[in-house]
Structure 1
């Protein structure tokens, strides 16, 4: 095999990728398209500009040369606090082509968070969008580590656009192997400080082939639009690596995704694939009658980040005629590894393992469980990250990655999500999934969103508490709604699973990727533990009664 090439071998269980001994992924995702005749094709579209594949390749090379010219050593880390736009592509792939490791960061954080990443990564450089200057500059001033290179993507002072303009337009890909360090993403930090997840050069090719091509059926004529941002592994695949792997086109929007902004982007750019999260789909459903968007270009929607309730899928399908393909993935795995597929959708389930991955559900001793029994989800696949940066905890143990999710396998082979292991409740001595209670609650016409956590009653026993976002949050809670919600849950669930308390709030705490932070709700309960009835975090709290 020649340098930087990939052979795709097809088999009954899916394809297997074979990488050349020398493989830099920038050659496969950027340079390859020029040799395959896509020079004039549009790779990126934004409100401000279109970028062709030939312009993208030139700017990636210029960026890589500029980073090297500024003194960034090969193998060093470049932190990227960069809004979704072409500059993200130039920095990410320019660094990789130059042998530098890009590390995209959440763009919604504060100075203390960025200071932690600067210190933890021991980065040689920081690149940031000018909109984030206040937080990044405060972080740089407060961090104990001092990166050598600091660049705004544009604007006054040292900027990426200026140094790229003075750099050479050709760059030979740095020598690398498919298992060498390529890029990092930081974990969410839901169980402690965020950890740097170290991915190799093969990761994005594997997720592009196994999920984008073999699961979604994505091809060069597809136009990809992701509401999930590029700093999140889900968005990194949706909006960057998948279109570049297939030769398609990426639509980038730096703004916060709202029903109005996403509907407008779909009508303007006519994507064929739209990637969202359950929270956004729920809010889009609420706004559909008002906006009546033209969604005729979209052949499939994809959801991840949080389990997609069956009601949202079924209502979306009824109103738009389009399926939402739910799936589950992780930062460690690179993207989605269990998914629903076009023509094979199980409402309320994550789907089946994507080709290239094996999954099993095990008990606390590691023994594989029969279908229908909930347990920990273990995963095997080549895209799973190499390691955590400066963290002794191995990602893969005895060939398997413990995802931390609780799943059961249905009779038809579909995998059904029960929650994170830390979210599970033991009520009356029986394990109970908050996801199941939440799914029942959002079937009630009053409820837009729901989150369920465990709370101790007067006897110190754990019972479910529901936090509810009403569909009409600005209105007063109607009399009797708490009792009606309890009756609704009792009609759908086993008797012990109904919520004993109900709170009505204007919003739920979420990660930047739209995932409900149940641990944040538990923390609020713990902080108010001096009173058995904690103070309400939003507008109302109501006791639903019952044992």
Structure 2
């Protein structure tokens, strides 16, 4: 693998040419992995050679429709083996796929399709009904292609691919040219289109996939996070494809039972989940090693901070540690993480090669170890800015540094302790309170599955913590809510305990599993 990396760097330097499809797809065929499974879903499989052919067909199909290089194509597809062909086929042609969340409303899709000015939309048949009423409102949208159905009057993806040629001269794109877009989750406002360049997937794979996960060609990766999500795109495409590994795709929304069924059926070696899913699986008695994968060597968590108790309970139950880390849409994937031989639950781990980190105060000055600051990150997978949002781009992308919006404390050993989103922090009696710290204390009580803490004013206008909890036994509330207050007081401090505790059936979340605390504040 060493000579390949040297060749790739020299190739970019000499020719000023780099197309991510050649690196992530073609190189695996050249390396002898053509007959190896690249992707499997519950119904179909796709080898690397078949993927290469599919990407050529997609490139021919799109250009044959008159879609030109640098034009945007919206991808609203379920996680099946069709998705990688569409994504990398567009990239091969120099056309920009815009990955859309599959769990949104018509109004949200209207916003994104108008914002991106996508010329074409490739949509999975089950999702067509949500977006079809919008088509007359989108003058830029010229082509609608349906995947996985009879098309119901629209062109069918498989038919168009069958008619297209299976060879294509890959576009000679620039390393810094936009390859694809991902929309931010919109947890605090309207989603923002983040532009990522051709070299970013390989950068993630080289620095996180190899340095942290030790990804190997015989690994099987299974991500509950979807391909439209930066975390899922890295886990199911960038990381496994960098070494010719296999990725398992789940088209449906992940539930504890559906995830366990996929793990038992396909025996992945690496599992990528989010904290809320790990907590939900632990609450399910069926979550046992016997019902999961017998080849699992690593579990990974990102998206939000992993509560310490959830990580420890998972390792005790399943016999496999969880690497908690943090990433973002702006950085494409994980840039701070625990490592297989260095797991410190309750932290996001330590800095690893490829990324530099800083913690700064409100004035942009570096803070000392033990002091809370906003996390800034520098690395080659950073996005190239937000589409048509100049002010927000300038506020987030600060030269080589990217603001994450996350508050952290770094201890003297270099481990980063998550405190919460900058917008979620608040003071009680003049002292900062970390919602995540209070949530961890609440979740450590055996009666609680999930918790979210927000600022709330009392009758005198003073700010105090308010907690919303999801209980293991929803009907057993008597006395428990007061018990949780005392539990927090004795765990982390009197001023931090929630003055109000509300039991709810579920917490509001984005489609990527992040808790929407702003909805609880309102």
Place the TM-score, normalised by the shorter chain, in its bin: over 0.9
CA distance in 1, matches of 2:420, 2:440: 12
| Structure 1 residues 391-438: Cα deviation after superposition (integer angstroms, max 9, x where no partner) | 113242143111111001012211111000000011011111000000
CA distance in 2, matches of 1:354, 1:440: 28
The structure that is helix-richer by fraction is 2
Could you list the runs of 5+ residues in structure 1 that have no partner in the other structure?
10-15, 524-547
Equivalence for 1:531: none
Counterpart of 2:347 (choices 346, 349, 363) is: 349
Counterpart of 2:170 (choices 170, 173, 185) is: 173
> Contact 1:105 / 1:231 at 8 angstroms: preserved in 2?
yes
Residue 233 (1) aligns with residue 212 (2) = no
Residue 136 (1) aligns with residue 131 (2) = yes
CA distance in 1, matches of 2:389, 2:6: 34
Residue 209 (1) aligns with residue 210 (2) = no
How much has 1:19 moved relative to structure 2? 3.6
Equivalence for 2:258: 261
> Contact 1:466 / 1:502 at 8 angstroms: preserved in 2?
yes
Equivalence for 1:541: none
CA distance in 2, matches of 1:116, 1:130: 21
Residue 34 (1) aligns with residue 39 (2) = no
> Contact 1:118 / 1:145 at 8 angstroms: preserved in 2?
no
How much has 1:8 moved relative to structure 2? 7.9
CA distance in 1, matches of 2:190, 2:5: 36
> Contact 2:266 / 2:293 at 8 angstroms: preserved in 1?
no
CA distance in 2, matches of 1:403, 1:364: 14
Structure 1's consecutive aligned runs of 4 or more residues displaced over 3 angstroms after TM superposition are: 16-20, 288-292
> Contact 1:213 / 1:246 at 8 angstroms: preserved in 2?
no
Equivalence for 1:536: none
How much has 1:343 moved relative to structure 2? 0.8
| Structure 1 residues 440-498: Cα deviation after superposition (integer angstroms, max 9, x where no partner) | 0001111110000000001111100000100122x241x21122111111101121000
Listed as ranges, the matches of 1:330-345 within 5 Å are 330-345=328-343
Equivalence for 2:146: 152
Counterpart of 1:245 (choices 231, 242, 246) is: 242
How much has 1:290 moved relative to structure 2? 6.4
Residue 127 (1) aligns with residue 129 (2) = no
Equivalence for 2:482: 483
CA distance in 2, matches of 1:201, 1:384: 11
How much has 1:321 moved relative to structure 2? 1.3
> Contact 1:140 / 1:146 at 8 angstroms: preserved in 2?
no
Equivalence for 1:75: 70
Q: Which secondary structure state, in structure 2, belongs to the residue aligned with residue 353 of structure 1?
A: coil
CA distance in 2, matches of 1:389, 1:504: 40
Q: Which secondary structure state, in structure 1, belongs to the residue aligned with residue 398 of structure 2?
A: coil
How much has 1:187 moved relative to structure 2? 1.1
> Contact 1:72 / 1:149 at 8 angstroms: preserved in 2?
no
> Contact 1:295 / 1:320 at 8 angstroms: preserved in 2?
no
CA distance in 1, matches of 2:356, 2:7: 19
> Contact 2:187 / 2:514 at 8 angstroms: preserved in 1?
no
Q: Which secondary structure state, in structure 1, belongs to the residue aligned with residue 464 of structure 2?
A: strand
Cα 1:17–1:337 shift into 2, 3 Å? farther
CA distance in 2, matches of 1:290, 1:198: 38
> Contact 1:17 / 1:206 at 8 angstroms: preserved in 2?
no
Listed as ranges, the matches of 1:101-500 within 5 Å are 101-141=96-136, 143-154=137-148, 155-156=150-151, 157-289=154-286, 292-392=290-390, 393-394=393-394, 395-473=396-474, 475-477=475-477, 479-500=478-499
How much has 1:146 moved relative to structure 2? 3.4
Cα 1:8–1:237 shift into 2, 3 Å? farther
Q: Which secondary structure state, in structure 2, belongs to the residue aligned with residue 422 of structure 1?
A: helix
> Contact 1:127 / 1:150 at 8 angstroms: preserved in 2?
yes
Q: TM-score, normalised by structure 2?
A: 0.95
How much has 1:190 moved relative to structure 2? 2.9
Q: TM-score, normalised by structure 1?
A: 0.91
Q: Which secondary structure state, in structure 1, belongs to the residue aligned with residue 424 of structure 2?
A: coil
Cα 1:378–1:18 shift into 2, 3 Å? farther
How much has 1:17 moved relative to structure 2? 9.7
